[in-house]
């Protein structure tokens, strides 16, 4: 697996509340270039909230946000996109009645004044899919309605790397997929990292997590219970970290784990 370098993206001591309810407590998160970091945790642990803080959809209440080692202000999704941070949502934001090219360029004002025409968009869409070794899509002019769940996820992921992104975060990308399609999507997730991107993968499937990730960050009731190389823990230990915040020498101190629960 890839050698750890400096994180491309780092959060330190992040708090986030909704009204009186504190959802994230002093969360540290590091995403490394060329690596898949898995973000795991039970329902309600705060995974989606954390990803939305990174993506600028929510503003953090406290803590530091560093990108490429420098403090940055990410107040909205536009700020995140400008840094090259993309999010692939659980519920895919693709339009059935549009084709692959149209979907990949949907909602994107061209950056730096470059306006692409249809022909150029088609070429860019095809090149992007090719760069990710996607061979399961026969034509980029296919309507998204005609695609399988796995192909749709593939298009959503390709869309996220269309603009030279540096960090891609995926919230449960395989949740609705069968075995073969899950395989395709996991291969693609791995390839994103192998192409040098920093990848954050939220998943409930511990086999997927063990297989595809380099590091694992476990959230327990809004606190980071562990941030460890994937090779250092078993699937059983990850499950324990998720359900109790502790496993052997890993995890929150007993007092903290109990106080949180």
Ligand X SMILES: Nc1ncnc2c1ncn2[C@@H]1O[C@H](COP(=O)(O)OP(=O)(O)O)[C@@H](O)[C@H]1O
Contact 32, 215 (CB under 8 A): yes
The position carrying tokens 């629960």 is 261
Residues 10-49 that bind Mg ion (CB under 5 A): 47-48
Nearer to ligand X, 18 or 115 (CB): 18
Rg (CA), the chain: 18
User: By rule CB under 6 A, what count of residues binds ligand X?
Assistant: 11
Residue nearest to Mg ion (CB): 48
Q: How far is the CB of 14 from ligand X (least distance, A)?
A: 13
The sign of the CA dihedral 170, 176, 179, 184 is negative
| Binding string, residues 42-81; x marks residues near Mg ion by CB under 5 A | -----xx---------------------------------
Crossing angle for the helix pair 179-194 and 149-160, to the nearest 10 degrees: 10
Query: x/- string (CB under 6 A) for ligand X, residues 1-30?
Result: -----------------x--x-x-------
Residue pair 233/247 in contact (Cβ under 8 Å)? The answer is yes
> In the bound complex, what is the minimum distance in angstroms from residue 47's beta carbon to Mg ion?
5
Q: Which is nearer to ligand X, 126 or 204 (CB)?
A: 204
Q: Which of residues 40-69 bind ligand X (CB under 6 A)?
A: 41, 43-49
Residue placing its CB nearer to ligand X in the complex, 2 or 22: 22
**Residue 215 binding result from ligand X, Mg ion, none, given CB thresholds of 5 to 8 Å by partner type:** none
The 3-class SS string of 21-79 reads: EEEEEEEEEEECCCCEEEEECCCCCCHHHHHHHHCCCCCCCEEEEEECCEECCCCCHHH
* Contacts for 181 with CB less than 8 Å, ≥ 6 apart: 148, 149, 150, 151, 153, 174
Per partner kind, with CB cut-offs from 5 to 8 A, the member of ligand X, Mg ion, none near residue 150 is: none
Task: List residues bridging with 37 in a β-sheet.
Answer: 200, 215
- Which residue's CB is nearer to Mg ion, number 104 or number 200? 200
From ligand X, Mg ion, none, which one binds at residue 25 (CB under 5 to 8 Å depending on kind)? none
Residues contributing to the site for ligand X (CB under 6 A): 18, 21, 23, 41, 43-49
Residues contributing to the site for Mg ion (CB under 5 A): 47-48
């Amino acid at each position: 697996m890839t050698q750890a370098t400096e994180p491309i993206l780092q959060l330190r001591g992040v708090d986030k509340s909704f009204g009186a309810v504190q959802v994230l407590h002093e969360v540290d998160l590091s995403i490394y270039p060329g690596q898949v970091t898995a973000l795991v945790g039970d329902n309600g642990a705060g995974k989606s909230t954390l990803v939305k803080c990174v993506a600028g959809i929510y503003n953090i209440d406290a803590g530091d946000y560093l990108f490429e080692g420098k403090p940055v202000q990410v107040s909205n999704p536009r700020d995140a996109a400008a840094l090259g941070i993309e999010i692939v949502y659980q519920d895919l934001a693709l339009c059935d009645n549009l084709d692959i090219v149209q979907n990949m360029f949907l909602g994107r004002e061209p950056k730096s004044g470059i306006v692409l025409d249809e022909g150029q968009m088609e070429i860019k869409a095809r090149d992007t899919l090719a760069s990710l070794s996607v061979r399961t899509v026969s034509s980029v002019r296919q309507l998204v309605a005609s695609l399988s769940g796995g192909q749709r996820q593939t298009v959503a992921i390709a869309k996220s790397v269309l603009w030279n992104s540096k960090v891609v975060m995926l919230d449960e990308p395989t949740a609705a997929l069968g075995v073969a399609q899950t395989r395709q999507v996991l291969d693609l997730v791995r390839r994103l990292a192998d192409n040098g991107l920093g990848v954050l993968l939220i998943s409930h499937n511990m086999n997927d997590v063990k297989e595809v990730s380099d590091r694992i960050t476990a959230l327990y009731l809004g606190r980071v219970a562990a941030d460890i190389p994937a090779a250092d823990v078993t699937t059983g230990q990850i499950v324990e970290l998720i359900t109790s915040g502790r496993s052997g020498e890993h995890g929150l101190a007993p007092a903290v784990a109990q106080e949180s629960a």
